[in-house]
Amino acid sequence: MAPRRSHRKSRNGCPECKGRRLKCDERYPCTNCVKHAIHCSYVAPNEQQGPSNARSTSSHSPASRTLSRAPSQIRPQPQPPQPESYATTPAGNYPWTFVNSDFRPENRLDLLDILAGSPQDAPVLNQEDWVRDLELLHHYCTVTCNSLTLREDSRHVWRVVTPIEGYSNKYVMHGVLAIAALHRAYLYPTQKEKYIKASAYHQAMGLKEFRELISLPIDPSNWQPVFCFASMITLHVFALPIRLGVARWPAPIANMVEVFSVVRGFQIVMKPFLPSLSKSQLAPLANCIWLESEMLIPSPSALEQSLLPSDIWTQIAQLHQFIDDFPFPALHPPSQPQTPNDSDPSQHTPDYRRDYKTALKFFEHSTRQLELAGPHVETGMVLLWAYSLSKQFHEDLIAHRPAALILLAHFCVLLHVIDHCWFINGAGRQLLEDIERHIHPGFREWLVWPKRWVFER
């Protein structure tokens, strides 16, 4: 009879695994905590013996390494899941790493122009308002972070990783407090004035440092906090009615173009580091938006379980035909007047049509993510469309050109799916109403389908 194989028993696992009755591998962080995006508090046995053994056990955890530093060098460090634990997209790229032909390096300064209109002088707060900041941080970590995403791994990034980045990057912490203040202004209308003031203060303070930072090239040491703050800027711009203390967007089309411009500027600034996103502690923010590429096959069963209209792919096919047939004007330099020959289809500029075809292709990307997500739709799946929009497309929206407004009207259908989000809150309906007011009467038939689904009539 073969001897029994010895089995090492241990009581030294992390408290999290003990509480869940799981076998801990006694690493820091342990595999189970990494897998479930839980903060691991494992301490090796020899670390529990006191400070005298701190030097000999410095290789076991970041906490022990911190003990050997001088007090002035101690800084809280994030303990997110390890990069290799995140699943990457099979293709190795996210769709927002693709760029338009007008995405030149110098265009990264466009974001500075957008942010230049932000308040330069922060509102004055009382000295007692540091207590309110504690209230805002608590609200952010317990309530707001859960409202920004549905997936628990993404919530971990918002709840844990982002505030920890704020410990050593003040502009990120200002962004966290600004978003929390806006959320409380939305939740507590009778107190909205004080929270709007607090949000304006923190956003202005954060933007002041952020603008100085992105005026220089971003490097591997700071791209992650920049990514965190830039993501919060998008939320801040979207929440314009809350910031103004009103119920509606002042100019929905122009306001949405501002959102698109921020997203586009964000992409330009972060472009060198977006390929690294899938292997960073921020990976869940991207993985929850772009689902596995092998799943991207139109499926009737998936569509039936989604929140999308049942005939959306038929409508997209009609949009393709519309863009193919639309008589786009030729692009002229500002000093060159248009001529009567501009109505000749042979004079159409191919790049102009290509911008619209790219926009429509990314509309399909967004639609497929919503289709595969079923009822669990992430806000970023809808905003994915904004990454494809060229500067010329933005200008067409401002000029109320029919083709651009028609695509924007169909985007309202996707936006309406996430209308329950506190920072969206009716934006799709208001945007479609504004489009109906400004589109040429000859193209209003293209609004029938979006109106049916957004206005539900």
Question: pLDDT at residue 125 above 80?
Answer: no
Cis peptide before 333 (omega within 30 of 0): no
CA 60/CA 361 separation, integer angstroms: 49
Pairs from 188-193 (Cβ < 8 Å, separation ≥ 24) = 192/242, 192/245, 193/245
Confidence of residue 351 (pLDDT cuts 50, 70, 90): confident
Q: Burial, 137: exposed, middle or buried (Cβ in 10 Å; 0-12, 13-18, 19+)?
A: middle
Q: What is the mean pLDDT of residues 349-356?
A: 77
Better-scored residue on pLDDT, 38 or 316? 316
Q: What is the mean pLDDT of residues 250-264?
A: 94
Question: pLDDT at residue 42 above 80?
Answer: no
CA 12 remoteness from chain centre: 39
pLDDT of residue 86: 33
Q: Which residues of 307-337 are buried (b: 16+ CB within 10 A; e: fewer)?
A: ebbeebbebeeebeebbeeeebebeeeeeee
pLDDT, tens only, 186-232: 999 999 999 999 999 999 999 999 998 888 888 888 999 999 999 99
Helices (H), 335-419: 350-373, 379-383, 391-398, 402-417
Q: What percent of the residues of the chain are helix, what percent strand, and what percent coil, each to the nearest 5? A: 65, 0, 35
Question: pLDDT at residue 55 above 80?
Answer: no
CA 94/CA 289 separation, integer angstroms: 9
The string of DSSP letters for 279-342 reads GSTTHHHHHTTS--GGG-S--HHHHHTSSS-TTHHHHHHHHHHHHHH--PPPP--TTSPP-GGG
Percent of the chain having pLDDT more than 90?
Answer: 49
CA 51/CA 364 separation, integer angstroms: 58
Task: Delineate the domains of the chain, giving CATH numbers in brackets.
Answer: 15-68 (4.10.240), 97-278 (no CATH), 293-330+345-454 (no CATH)
CA 363 remoteness from chain centre: 17
Better-scored residue on pLDDT, 242 or 108? 242
pLDDT of residue 278: 82
pLDDT of residue 25: 79
pLDDT of residue 325: 92
pLDDT, tens only, 370-426: 988 888 899 999 998 998 899 999 999 999 999 999 999 999 999 999 998 999 989
What the block records as the tokens of 383 is 């905003």
Q: Burial, 13: exposed, middle or buried (Cβ in 10 Å; 0-12, 13-18, 19+)?
A: middle
Confidence of residue 29 (pLDDT cuts 50, 70, 90): confident
pLDDT of residue 136: 96
Highest mean pLDDT among 20-24, 86-90, 214-218, 303-307: 214-218
pLDDT of residue 350: 47
For the chain, give the mean pLDDT. 78
CA 32/CA 38 separation, integer angstroms: 8
Question: pLDDT at residue 181 above 90?
Answer: yes
Better-scored residue on pLDDT, 151 or 47? 151
pLDDT of residue 156: 96
pLDDT, tens only, 72-90: 444 444 444 333 333 334 4
Q: What is the mean pLDDT of residues 290-315?
A: 72
Question: pLDDT at residue 276 above 80?
Answer: yes
Question: pLDDT at residue 287 above 80?
Answer: yes
Percent of the chain having pLDDT more than 70?
Answer: 70
Better-scored residue on pLDDT, 330 or 90? 330
CA 433 remoteness from chain centre: 26
CA 74/CA 68 separation, integer angstroms: 9
Contact 252, 436 (CB under 8 A): no
pLDDT of residue 100: 53
